Amino acid sequence: MAEKRVAIVTGGAQGIGLAIVRQLSQEGAAVVIGDVQQAKAQAAADQVAAAGGQAIAVAVDVSREQDVAALMEQSLAAYGQIDVLINNAGIVQTGPVTAITESAWEKVMQINVKGVFLTCRAVLPLMMARRQGWILNMASVAGKRGGGLLGNSCYAASKGAVIAFTKSLAREAAPHGIIVNALTPALTDTQMTSGLSDEQRQAILGQIPLKRAAKAEEVAAAACFLVSDQASFIVGEIMDVDGGLMMD
């Protein structure tokens, strides 16, 4: 990551998002931490500042168009440009299809899919005007192989949509100098996955050749690579960070 780039990270207050925020800051980027949990986002921004970096916190519900517009406005007011967008905000819904309510399905789709659409749509004109930009959408191996053991078909469907959207957007954006990719992690040790039972966790790990979950920092390293100059010829890629789970 080149110094002085400005990166928005949604869902950046904890888990993988916070790990990405920390690594981007260490690499010299100014970071906008967009999160629905304003207090946690501000605490993360304070941590970055204490370590000598630059970060601001912006309260945002990515499923709300007006929130996304405000996120862009506050980012520009603080730093004058937006170079990188990492769409990390997301929620999970588990359970068999027969147990998923319509409202639960809609909430997952609103945040995981509509949120990615809204942020990308908002940032694209800014990047197109400069003929430069990097967009990374966080998907999941569940979007490729289905919900699997946990019966999280809703979550898998949302991440499958993110994968398809990423490929389509990459084709649209590349002629304007904008690099678009997605990352598909497997089980990662974060607060989101802390509620798994030991039985569920062991069942998932049994399918991963490395026999362990990813660390948030390992996923963050891949994310930061994909928005760096070192990945400048990687376009429309859906990169697995999965300990070998998706090996052919």
Q: Of 29, 28, 51, 48, nearest to 40 (Cα)?
A: 48
What is the spatial distance between Cα 210 and Cα 114, in angstroms, rounded to a whole number? 34
Q: Is 79 a catalytic residue?
A: no
Q: Where are the alpha helices (DSSP H) in the chain?
A: 15-26, 38-50, 65-79, 102-109, 115-130, 142-145, 153-173, 198-205, 216-226
What is the spatial distance between Cα 138 and Cα 172, in angstroms, rounded to a whole number? 19
What CA dihedral angle connects 109, 115, 118 and 121, to 10 degrees?
Answer: -100
Catalytic residue among 15, 155, 156, 242: 155
Q: Of 72, 54, 162, 160, nearest to 117 (Cα)?
A: 162
Q: Of 187, 180, 186, nearest to 227 (Cα)?
A: 180
Q: Of 5, 41, 11, 42, nearest to 26 (Cα)?
A: 5
Non-local CB neighbours of 202 within 8 Å, separated by 6+ positions: none
Q: Of 77, 71, 105, 74, nearest to 91 (Cα)?
A: 105
What is the spatial distance between Cα 237 and Cα 243, in angstroms, rounded to a whole number? 18
Catalogue the active-site residues.
Answer: 155
